[in-house]
Amino acid sequence: MSAAPFLSVRGLGVHYRDGRRRVAALHDVDFDLALGGRLALVGESGSGKSTLALAIAGLLPENASITGTISFPSLGAAPRPGRDLGVVFQDPGGSLNPVLSIGDQIAEIVVVHRGVSWRAARSIAAELLDRVRIPQAQARLHGFPHEFSGGQRQRIAMAAALAGEPRLLIADEPTSALDTVVQRELVLLLDELVRERGLTLLFVTHDIALASELADEVAVLLGGRMVEHGPIGSVFAAPAHAYTRALLETRLDLDTPLSARLLEIDGQTFTVRRPSEMSNG
């Protein structure tokens, strides 16, 4: 009795053209995501997790080429950015236009997708800002991005992502650039928003602990391939792939550079060692 999945990815591969070379970022990725599901994409840097998220969002750079399919069965057509999917990026400073007020930027999205008047859009924007806990939202509509802190800007970005009332929210390491206290607030907010709007969530993270908090399912990427995918409970209790097992053993924050790690995963045997004992450098 399985309904059609919301997102279906089959045989997805992504190459970047760099000068005369072709660099493969993703190989042969297959998975489904049901409506209302929450999937965490976990992996080290360079594993292809961001590439996967951006490919689904349709935001790969020009020098990228895609093989395989990404389909949204229930949408009937290609997903409309902003309207069917919303994206939150990693860098809070960079995702807002510096010369337009935040009210204008969010209202613009509302006008484009919901076809209401600018006045109505502005009050919807104020509501959204209030919902993401920007204090004195009505007054702050006229504020510019540089007047807000990093955490606030990320929350504004979330409001912008949701302004078009999308079904799927894609978040590419939304908290990585923030300090831990601010991270917590953001994660809680994200959780609330997804729950109250019944959104489907796809988020990229290097932090396994974060994944276990927010997600129902987890997919592990290594070297551009998806090596494991399943409900978060079962994957963490009984990982099928040696790499996942090693990850959980170390409870590594995968963002820590190789040299700083006390324990390291051997890339061949997927066993855990101290770096000094490693066979390969």
Could you list the residues that contact other proteins (CB under 8 A)? 19, 57, 59, 80-83, 85-87, 89, 91, 94-101, 108-109, 112-113, 144, 146-150, 157, 160-161, 163-164
Query: Rounded CA gap, 187 and 96, in Å?
Result: 20
Strands 200-205 and 38-43: parallel
Rank residues 3 and 99 by Cβ distance to other proteins and give the closer one. 99
Rank residues 159 and 232 by Cβ distance to other proteins and give the closer one. 159
State in angstroms the smallest separation of the CB of 31 from other proteins: 22
Quote the DSSP letter at residue 81: B
State in angstroms the smallest separation of the CB of 102 from other proteins: 11
Rank residues 105 and 244 by Cβ distance to other proteins and give the closer one. 105
Query: Rounded CA gap, 219 and 7, in Å?
Result: 14
State in angstroms the smallest separation of the CB of 18 from other proteins: 10
Rank residues 95 and 183 by Cβ distance to other proteins and give the closer one. 95
Return left, alpha or beta for 131; rule: phi > 0 is left, psi -120 to 50 is alpha, else beta: alpha
State in angstroms the smallest separation of the CB of 130 from other proteins: 17
Quote the DSSP letter at residue 62: T
Cα–Cα distances in angstroms (integers) from residue 199 to residues 6, 48, 134, 162, 210, in the given order: 11, 24, 21, 10, 18
